[in-house]
Amino acid sequence: MKVFGVTGWKNGGKTGLVERLVTEITDRGFVVSTIKHAHHSADVDHLGTDTYRHRKAGAKQVILSSPQRWAHMSELQGDHEPSLGDLIARIEGSDLVLVEGFKSEVHPKIEAFRFENGHPPLAEVNTSIVAIAAKGAIATRLPCMDLDDTSAVADFVLGQVGLSVIDDSGGDLRPKLRNDCFALPEGVDWVPVDDALARLKATLAPVAGVEVVSTTQTCGRILAHSVTGIRHNPPAANSAVDGYGFAFNTLSDDLQLKLVDGRSAAGESFVGHVPAGHGVRILTGAIIPQGVDTVVLQEDVDLLDGCVRLSGQPKLGSNTRKAGEDVKAGDIVLALGHRIRPTDIALLTATGISEVEVFKPLRVGVLSTGDELANASVKDSAAHTTYDANRPMLLSLVEKWGYQPVDMGIAPDSPDEIEKRLNDFGPNVDAILTSGGASAGDEDHISKLLRTKGDLTSWRIAVKPGRPLALAMWNGVPIFGLPGNPVAAFVCTLIFGRPALSILAGGDWLTPQSFSVSAAFSKSKKNGRREFLRARMTPSGQVETFRSEGSGRISGLSWADGLVELADNGYEIADGDPVKYLPYSSFGL
Ligand code: AMP
Ligand code: MG
C-alpha cells in the first residue's frame, strides 16, 4: 500500500484535488482510500442519532453498520490522537492512501496552491512537499502542475509511489521504450562519454515486470515502490541500559528510591504504575513502565535494603529510547528503485514490512558473433579459431549484477543467422548484449542487420577502448552492440551497460564511486577522447597500469583490480600525479 499526501493553505483547493484524484485514480483501476486530518473538534454523527446517543452516554467505541457501509468511532476520552502510521495501519485492501492534511508528517506530498490567496507556497518551508498543483503562475524549482489538470497530477502521484509500473490485473502498465530512443541528433559524429551517458539516462525506462516477494528473499532485488513503515522503531519507549527506572520529578533530595516488587524485562513488561518516589528494576530493551520517565545505569547506584541510592543527580529522560525515535510508522523507509542490501532487510523487517513489491530480475540475453569464434569445449580447434571469451564474461557480469543471464550462443557472421537468433530469443528477454561485428566494416553484420531492420544508431563514442557502440531496438527489445575485442567489450559494459541495465531493471542510474590516487606511471594523454586503463593498487598505495593498452590483451583484464579514468582533454601525467581510480568493486564486481 502506498501513501501520498495533499496539503496546502486553507482554501488552497486540497479537498477538491483529493476528490478529483480519488475519481481519476479509481478510474485507472486502483483502490484508493483517504485519511483526512481535522484540526478542530469534528463529528461524524448528528445530534440525536442512535450512535451519537451511545457515545454521549460514555461508550468508548461505537460501531455503526448498514448494508452499504460501516463506521468504527473511537472516543479518545483524553487519550492522545493516534499517529498517522497507526491510522494508515487500519486501512486494508487499498493500493493507495491519499492523506489530506498532516502537513508536518514526513510522507511525500503535493501542495494545492491558489495564487490569489496571497500566501507564499508552503513548499518554501516544508521539505516533504515534492510538487505543487497551482492555480496561477508561481516561481518554484519543484515540479509544478495545473491544479485543474487532474490527469497530470494523477500521473505524477502514481509515478512517485511507483504504482504506474504495478500490474495487478494482468494488463501491462509499464512504460514502453520508444523505437527511436537511441536516435542521435542530426549531425552528431563523435559522442563524448558524458553525452552518451546523459542520453542513455534520459531515454531509458524500467521494462522489468513486478512481483511481490517476502522481505527475507529480497537481497539484491530492486524496489518497485517506495516503502512506508507500518510500525514504529522502536515500537514502544524502552530502556537503553540495565538499571532502575523512576519519575524524574519525584526523586527526593537524598537521591534514594524505594524499589517496587517486580521488574521490567524485554518481552516481559512491568504491569502497573510505579508510584512517585519509587524505582523499578528495568533491563535493556524493556518497555518503560507507567510512572517512569528516566533510567539510571545499575553501575551508578548503591543497592541498599529494598531501595537504591543514586551516585549523582541524573538527567531527565536519560537512558530511555522514545517510541519511533529511529523510524516512525508512516515514514518512507526506502525509495522506489533502491537495490535491497542486507541492512535494508533489517530496516524493512523492524518497521513491520514482511513483503514488498520488487521488479522481476531483468532477463539479459548475451550473443557472440563472429565466424572465428568457438566454444572453449571444442578441443580440436583450427588455427583461426578464437575461443569465445566475451559471452562467459558477459553472462557472469549479468549474473553478478543480480539479473537473469540468458545464453544466446554464438552466431556466425551471417545476417540471417543473427536475425534468427534475435527473433528466437527476443520474446523472452528484456535486453540483449551482443559482441563483435559492431563497426561499419564488411564483416560487421550486427551493424548491417540492425541498420536495415532494427532502428540502429551507431554511436561512435569518444572512448578508448571502445568506440563504436551499436544501439538498436529489436521488436521492442533494446540491443547493446558491443565491440568484439574483449577489453573494449568489458569496459563498454561497465561504463555504459551497467547504468543502462540498472534503469531497465527498475533501479537507479549508477555512477561508480571513484578515488583520487597517486599515479605509479607516466603517460602522454591524447586530446578528444576518454581513456580507461587497466589498473591496480601497488602495495605502497599508488595506482599502476597494465604494461600494454592493446584491447585484445585479456590477461590485463584479469591482472587489474580496476580502471584508471583519464579525462577527455590532452595532458601529461607524471609519476605521482593524482588520477581517478575506479576499483572493480565500484562496478559491483
Ligand atoms: P569485431 O568487433 O567483430 O571486429 O572483433 C574484433 C576482435 O575481437 C577480433 O579479433 C575478434 O576475433 C575478437 N572477438 C570478437 N568476439 C570475440 C569473443 N566473443 N571472444 C573473444 N574475442 C572476440
Ligand atoms: Mg567479428
Any ligand 1 atom below 6 A from CB of 485: yes
Q: Which of 266, 29, 7 is nearest to 112 (CA)?
A: 7
CA 460 to ligand 2 center in whole angstroms: 17
How far does residue 416's CA lie from ligand 2's centre (Å)? Answer: 15
Share of the chain above pLDDT 70, in %: 97
Please give the average per-residue pLDDT across 410-434, as a whole number. Answer: 94
Nearest residue (by CA) to ligand 1, atom 3, is 436
- Give tens-digit pLDDT for 315-347: 999 999 999 999 988 888 998 889 999 999 999
What is the Å distance from ligand 1's center to 474 Cα? 22
Instruction: Considering only residues 279 and 28, tell me which one the structure prediction assigns the higher pLDDT.
Output: 279
Angle between helix 415-425 and 445-453 (nearest 10) = 60
pLDDT reported for residue 170:
45
Ligand nearest to the CA of 410: 1
Regarding the beta carbon of 314 and ligand 1, being less than 6 Å apart is answered no
Atom of ligand 1 nearest to the CA of 390: 19
Please tell me the distance between residue 81's alpha carbon and the centre of ligand 1 in angstroms.
69
Mean pLDDT calculated for residue range 422-445: 88
pLDDT at 162: 67
Q: Which cell is 353 given?
A: 514490512
Percent of the chain at pLDDT above 90? 63
Judged against a pLDDT cut of 80, whether residue 213 lies above it is answered with yes
Task: Return d(Cα 227, Cα 218) in angstroms, integer.
Answer: 13
**Residue nearest (by alpha carbon) to ligand 1 atom 6:** 484
Is pLDDT above 50 for 77? Answer: yes
Report CA-CA distances (Å) from 195 to 115, 124, 211, 533: 39, 33, 34, 20
Confidence of residue 557 (pLDDT cuts 50, 70, 90): very high
pLDDT at residue 300, as a whole number: 96
Strands 307-310 and 256-264: antiparallel
Which residue in the block uniquely carries the three cell numbers 503562475?
A: 137
Closest ligand to residue 384's CA: 1
Say if residue 405 is preceded by a cis peptide, omega within 30 of 0.
no
What distances in angstroms separate CA 558 from CA 159, 373, 452, 534, 566, one per listed residue?
42, 21, 37, 9, 20
Is 371's C-beta closer than 6 angstroms to any atom of ligand 1? no
The verdict on the CB of residue 13 being under 6 Å from ligand 1 is: no
Indicate whether 142 pLDDT > 70.
yes
Cα 235 from Cα 326, distance rounded (Å) = 10
Whose alpha carbon is nearest atom 15 of ligand 1?
484
Query: Strands 404-411 and 363-369: what pairing?
Result: parallel
Q: Please give the Cα distance from 569 to 148 (Å, whole number).
A: 50
447 lines ligand 1 (CB under 6 A): no
Determine the distance separating the centroid of ligand 1 and the alpha carbon of 438, expressed in angstroms: 10
108 or 434, greater pLDDT: 434
Mean pLDDT over each residue of the chain, to the nearest integer: 90
Residue 1's pLDDT band, with cuts at 50, 70 and 90, is confident
Establish whether residue 465 lines the binding site of ligand 1, counting it when its CB lies within 6 angstroms of any ligand atom: no
pLDDT over 80 (residue 579): yes
pLDDT attached to residue 172 = 47
The mean pLDDT of 281-310, rounded to a whole number, is 95
Q: Which atom of ligand 1 is nearest to the CA of 436?
A: 3
Please report which confidence band the pLDDT of residue 238 belongs to, taking 50, 70 and 90 as the band edges.
Answer: very high
Secondary structure letter of residue 520 according to DSSP: S
Mean pLDDT (whole number) for 506-535: 95
* C-alpha 482 to ligand 2 mean position (Å): 11
